[in-house]
């Protein structure tokens, strides 16, 4: 069992990890940039240490500073949260070289799944259904050839990308030629690689993902699915569990396929396999994220499990309970990502929070890293809070979320709460008739 865990992250996920550590009796160390000196995660951890200026490359992405902080404070493990260094195999290897346990997958697993083209090949070899796509693109003329062979429209993607960034829908050869060099440059700047590939573009799919846990004994738990179809610019806005689009047969068949595939792969820790569900009802593999996800709370609520605590137990060498059948969801959960941004234009809106009242009551959970008088800095993701509602049925969860949103007060900045209320009140959402184009349709 660990004695002290350093959390190499900030905001709500840092606070989320701190909570599970404290409930397990572990000491906690927060790291922070200069601009985050008074952030909530630094206040609630047992210890806090500054690791550099506001720029992520000089603080939250600066591996030597984080390792030094762990050594100075005597931490024996590091939890990376999500984002930043959570999928960086070099960081995990450095932790091991310095005698620190990385709470997450093995470095080679991050490499396998982090490169999207390599991940597609691996998923196919493991028997997962794959969306049609291309090999890596060599140059602009090769791009045109591959796009035409695949059939327009196509989705141009960065092989090293993630989080919905670096994607472009292209419908003609002319658009491919006009976009290719810019896409390469953007990919290189964002991900350190200009490798690109195509996937067949589905006009109105649903985005479905399955949560897994794996231990060192080869046990794999598939903890149901999440519906993540409400997106803007390929980035998730609202998630729920379970999905109303899957039948029990589909859910059971895919869970069994994933359990077998990831057992064969020897996957360790928490991970999420993402799929697209087309209008015919076919699920096809999109990508695998070898880390905890932003939207993990909806799975925790419907499955009655603490995923972060399980990550810690697995990293300590603990085993998952053997199960012959998957867990069944209890009720329905919805998560709204509350961002500091204009609800219509999505322009970030950092600033000082002058007034704060978070919703409460039965079945309402708030994961947040802000407080009244605190600052939402412009240097990081604009996520302010995750508001999660859990109820016996989906209509009840929607009603509970509407109530919770109505009593959430965040002054001094703009947030996307009005957008969430419009989504939840829309007849198509209430009836479960959604796709990844839902917000485009909502905005007209």
Please enumerate in sequence order all residues whose Cβ is within 8 A of that of 61, keeping only pairs 6 or more positions apart, or say none.
84, 85
- Would strands 77-79 and 4-7 be described as parallel, antiparallel, or unpaired? parallel
- Would strands 196-200 and 154-158 be described as parallel, antiparallel, or unpaired? antiparallel
For residues 371 and 13, give the distance between their C-alpha atoms in angstroms, rounded to a whole number: 15
Are residue 217 and residue 357 in the same domain, yes or no?
yes
- Would strands 101-102 and 375-376 be described as parallel, antiparallel, or unpaired? unpaired
pLDDT at 321: 84
DSSP 313-364: HHHTT--PPP-SSPPPP-SEEEEEEEESB-TTT--B--EE--EEE---STTE
For residues 34 and 313, give the distance between their C-alpha atoms in angstroms, rounded to a whole number: 32
List beta partners, residue 49.
31
Q: How far apart are the first and last CA of the chain?
A: 54
**Other Cβ atoms closer than 10 A to 185:** 11
| 416-426 pLDDT tens trace | 999 999 999 99
Are residue 25 and residue 150 in the same domain, yes or no?
no
pLDDT at 164: 62
Cβ burial of 309 (10 Å; 0-12, 13-18, 19+) is middle
| 103-137 pLDDT tens trace | 999 999 999 999 889 999 999 999 999 999 999 99
Task: Answer yes or no: are the C-beta atoms of 372 and 353 closer than 8 Å.
Answer: yes
Are residue 323 and residue 177 in the same domain, yes or no?
no
Are residue 77 and residue 181 in the same domain, yes or no?
no
Is 120 catalytic? The answer is no
Note whether residue 112 is domain-resident. no
- Of 200, 234, 253, which marks where a domain is finished? 200
CA atoms within 13 A on the CB side of 352: 3
Spans of the chain, pLDDT less than 50: none
Are residue 425 and residue 346 in the same domain, yes or no?
yes
**Other Cβ atoms closer than 10 A to 180:** 22
| Element holding 223 (H helix, E strand) | strand 220-232
Q: At what angle do helices 63-73 and 89-97 cross, to 10 degrees?
A: 30
For residues 379 and 244, give the distance between their C-alpha atoms in angstroms, rounded to a whole number: 37
| Paired tokens of 78 | 């590091």
For residues 68 and 379, give the distance between their C-alpha atoms in angstroms, rounded to a whole number: 23
pLDDT at 151: 95
| Paired tokens of 426 | 């829309």
Are residue 214 and residue 177 in the same domain, yes or no?
no
Are residue 402 and residue 351 in the same domain, yes or no?
yes
Are residue 212 and residue 181 in the same domain, yes or no?
no
Are residue 164 and residue 263 in the same domain, yes or no?
no
Note whether residue 331 is domain-resident. yes
Q: 207: helix, coil or strand?
A: strand
Positive or negative: CA dihedral 264, 266, 272, 274: negative
**Other Cβ atoms closer than 10 A to 444:** 4
Expressed as residue numbers, the domain containing 332 is 206-442
Are residue 345 and residue 293 in the same domain, yes or no?
yes
Residue among 262, 250, 253, 168 nearest 220 (CA): 262
The CATH number of the domain where 364 resides is what? Answer: 3.30.470.20
Are residue 163 and residue 230 in the same domain, yes or no?
no
Residue among 281, 117, 129 nearest 205 (CA): 281
| Paired tokens of 309 | 């605590």
For residues 402 and 424, give the distance between their C-alpha atoms in angstroms, rounded to a whole number: 7
- Tell me which of 291, 313, 337, 414 is the catalytic residue: 291
Cβ burial of 99 (10 Å; 0-12, 13-18, 19+) is exposed
Note whether residue 114 is domain-resident. no
For residues 59 and 53, give the distance between their C-alpha atoms in angstroms, rounded to a whole number: 6
Are residue 175 and residue 296 in the same domain, yes or no?
no
pLDDT at 161: 74
Note whether residue 326 is domain-resident. yes
- Return the residue matching tokens 């993402």: 274
Q: At what angle do helices 107-114 and 89-97 cross, to 10 degrees?
A: 170
For residues 410 and 392, give the distance between their C-alpha atoms in angstroms, rounded to a whole number: 28
pLDDT at 444: 65
DSSP 52-114: E-SSGGGTTT-HHHHHHHHHHHT--EEE--SSTTTT-HHHHHHHHHTT-EESSS-HHHHHHHH
- Of 169, 200, 231, which marks where a domain is finished? 200
Note whether residue 111 is domain-resident. no
Positive or negative: CA dihedral 34, 37, 39, 41: positive
Residue among 72, 82, 122, 118 nearest 103 (CA): 82
Count of domains for the chain: 3
List beta partners, residue 391.
332
pLDDT at 362: 97
């Amino acid at each position: 069992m660990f004695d002290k865990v350093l959390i190499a992250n900030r905001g709500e996920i840092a606070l989320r990890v701190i909570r599970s550590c404290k409930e397990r009796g572990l000491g906690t160390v927060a790291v922070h940039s200069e601009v985050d000196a008074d952030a909530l995660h630094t206040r609630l951890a047992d210890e806090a240490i500054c690791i550099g200026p506001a720029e992520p490359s000089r603080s939250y992405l600066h591996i030597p500073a984080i390792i030094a902080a762990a050594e100075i404070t005597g931490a024996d493990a590091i939890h990376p949260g999500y984002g930043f260094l959570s999928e960086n195999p070099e960081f995990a290897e450095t932790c091991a070289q310095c005698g620190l346990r990385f709470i997450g997958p093995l470095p080679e697993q991050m490499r396998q799944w982090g490169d999207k083209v390599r991940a597609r090949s691996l998923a196919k070899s493991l028997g997962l259904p794959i969306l049609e796509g291309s090999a890596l693109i060599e140059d602009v003329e090769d791009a045109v050839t591959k796009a035409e062979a695949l059939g327009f429209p196509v989705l141009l993607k960065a092989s090293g990308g993630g989080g919905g960034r670096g994607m472009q829908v292209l419908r003609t050869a002319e658009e491919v030629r006009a976009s290719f060099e810019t896409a390469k440059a953007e990919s290189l700047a964002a991900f350190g690689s200009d490798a690109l590939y195509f996937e067949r573009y589905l006009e109105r799919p649903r985005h479905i993902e399955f949560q897994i846990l794996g231990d060192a004994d080869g046990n794999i738990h598939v903890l149901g699915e999440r519906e993540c179809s409400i997106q803007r610019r390929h980035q998730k806005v609202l998630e729920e569990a379970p999905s109303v689009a899957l039948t029990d047969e589909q859910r059971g068949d895919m869970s069994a396929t994933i359990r077998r595939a990831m057992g064969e792969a020897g996957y360790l820790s928490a991970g999420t396999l993402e799929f697209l569900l087309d209008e015919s009802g076919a699920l096809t593999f999109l990508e695998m994220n070898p880390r905890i996800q932003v939207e993990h709370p909806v799975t925790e609520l419907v499955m009655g499990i603490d995923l972060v605590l399980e990550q810690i137990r697995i990293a300590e060498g603990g085993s998952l309970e053997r199960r012959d059948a998957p867990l069944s969801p209890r009720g329905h959960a919805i998560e709204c990502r509350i961002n500091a941004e204009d609800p219509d234009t999505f322009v970030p809106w950092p600033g000082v929070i002058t007034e704060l009242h978070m919703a409460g009551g039965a079945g309402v959970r708030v994961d947040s890293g802000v407080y009244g008088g605190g600052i939402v800095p412009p240097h990081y993701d604009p996520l302010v809070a995750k508001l999660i509602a859990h109820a016996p049925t989906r209509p009840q969860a929607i009603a509970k979320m509407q109530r919770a949103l109505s009593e959430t007060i965040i002054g001094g900045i703009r947030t996307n709460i009005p957008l969430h209320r419009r989504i939840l009140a829309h007849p198509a959402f209430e009836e479960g008739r959604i796709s990844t184009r839902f917000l485009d349709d909502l905005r007209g």
